[in-house]
Structure 1
Amino acid sequence: MKRFCLEVSGDFACYTRPEMKVERVSYDLITPSAARAVFESILWKPAIRWQMRRIEVLRPVRWTSVRRNEVASVVSTRNVITAMNEGRGQLGLYVEDDRQQRAGLFLRDVAYRLHADLEFLPARAPNDTLTKYAEMFARRAEKGQCVNQPYLGCREFAARFRLVKDHAAEPPPEASVDGDLGWMLYDIDFDHPNDPRPKFFRARIERGVLDLERMEVRG
């Protein structure tokens, strides 16, 4: 495995709590799955896997309340199946007829340092090496290249990122972010594709640092 560190920042972020049914209310900081998605947006291949190890909060937690117009429904699964089988069907949604206003409690002015291990799966690419993918990621991250634009929870909240080469030379985490943040979503378990299940962990942050290697994950 090879460890990498990214500094990620943005004007707004929303890591929605799943227990909130209608309104979008964010966790206090980025979730491990959202952090992993930032690395995957820069480089993802079938032969590699990203494992989040550490999250450092670089700015105080700030909130903002926003009211937005959203579409109230999704395209019917039955209509999609019909369109696939018959080559025709109604897949459109008209925003003017299906608009509703929802409030959201979002984070603002966020910045994190994300530490992740790049794991190589040789069974999926016998002729490749860990070094190949590590160099590929470092080259792309240093140039600011990505497969798709990284985002902070919601796609409209684009993220800026840079590769951190020398972690010791960086400023310390935000010490005011400290304590037990309660249960937080860790990831979705897709071992059973027909019954994906969320996994949670108790998020205890110490002086701006969330050490994921010490966390106990529960299904």
Structure 2
Amino acid sequence: MGYGIRMRVWGDFACFTRPEMKVERVSYDVITPSAARGILESIHWKPAIRWVVDKITVVKPIKFDNIRRNEVKDKMSVSASMIEKAMNEGKAIYLDSNDNRAQRATMLLKNVEYIIEAHFELTEKAGETDTVEKHYNIVLRRLRKGQCFSRPYLGCREFSANFEIVEEERKIDSHYQSTEIDLGWMLWDIDFDRNCKSIFYRPKMVNGEIEVPNLWR
């Protein structure tokens, strides 16, 4: 944990969609570890490293809001034969959003702020030049300059996230001091090496802090 990082993430809106809601989006109460990992990967990621989220602190009170927005109602299913046929005929494969548009409700979070504490581990794809010190210095430089590979977002791409590094060792003042909340079952991450298997865990928020287990081990 000597090479861990601590960063502040905030935004106007967020939606960490519950997978059991099939049609209209309903957000979890707080950010999921997989969403936090996605934010970290948007700042720095290589096949040589894997991010592990250690702790999430919920700074601001949890507030929900409802909106309606346009989404597509169909998924594009493309097979290898369809791709080959389109290439032979010189045609494009696409989904027309104008013909597949549907207005759906979304229950989202507003005015969110989190402190994410995480570290990374070297993977089997790490080469001789891939050292922990090298990648740690890259992450620090990017965070200090506000740089990212792609714009991080809070659950949905339209809800962009602001971020900054937290370098000073200080206690974060959470809205949920002296409270303990059982957040129920929540998506931890998706194992893409095992047919995209969803992994769930049951977090508890104690004094605004959520200790995230490392279930990869």
TM-score normalized by the length of structure 1: 0.89
Task: Give unmatched runs, 5+ long, in structure 1.
Answer: none
Task: Report Cα offsets for 1:167-211 as digits up to 9, x if no partner.
Answer: 31x54222167410100000111233xx22100001211121001
TM-fit CA distance, 1:90: 4.0
Q: Secondary structure at the match of 1:152?
A: coil
What's the C-alpha RMSD, in Å, of the aligned pairs?
A: 2.1
Task: Report Cα offsets for 1:84-142 as digits up to 9, x if no partner.
Answer: 75363342322222111100100000000000012233752122321111001100111
| C-alpha separation in 2, matches of 1:87 and 1:143 | 48
| C-alpha separation in 1, matches of 2:124 and 2:199 | 27
Question: Does the CA contact (< 8 Å) of 2:180 and 2:205 recur in 1?
Answer: yes
- Quote the sequence identity (%): 43
The more displaced of 110-119 and 76-85 is 76-85
The equivalent residue for 1:91 is 93
| C-alpha separation in 2, matches of 1:122 and 1:75 | 34
Question: Does the CA contact (< 8 Å) of 2:86 and 2:93 recur in 1?
Answer: no
| C-alpha separation in 1, matches of 2:46 and 2:6 | 19
Following TM superposition, where does structure 1 have runs of at least 4 consecutive aligned residues deviating by more than 6 angstroms? none
Is 1:19 matched up with 2:16? no
Greater helix fraction, Structure 1 or Structure 2:
1
Give the partner amino acid of 1:126: E
TM-fit CA distance, 1:80: 5.6
Greater strand fraction, Structure 1 or Structure 2:
1
Give the partner amino acid of 1:184: M
The equivalent residue for 1:8 is 9
1:1-219 pair list within 5 angstroms: 2-78=3-79, 81-82=83-84, 86=88, 88-121=90-123, 124-168=126-170, 171-175=172-176, 178-192=180-194, 195-213=195-213
Question: Does the CA contact (< 8 Å) of 2:47 and 2:125 recur in 1?
Answer: no
Question: Does the CA contact (< 8 Å) of 1:122 and 1:129 recur in 2?
Answer: no
Aligned residue pairs, count = 213
Task: Give unmatched runs, 5+ long, in structure 2.
Answer: none
TM-score normalized by the length of structure 2: 0.90
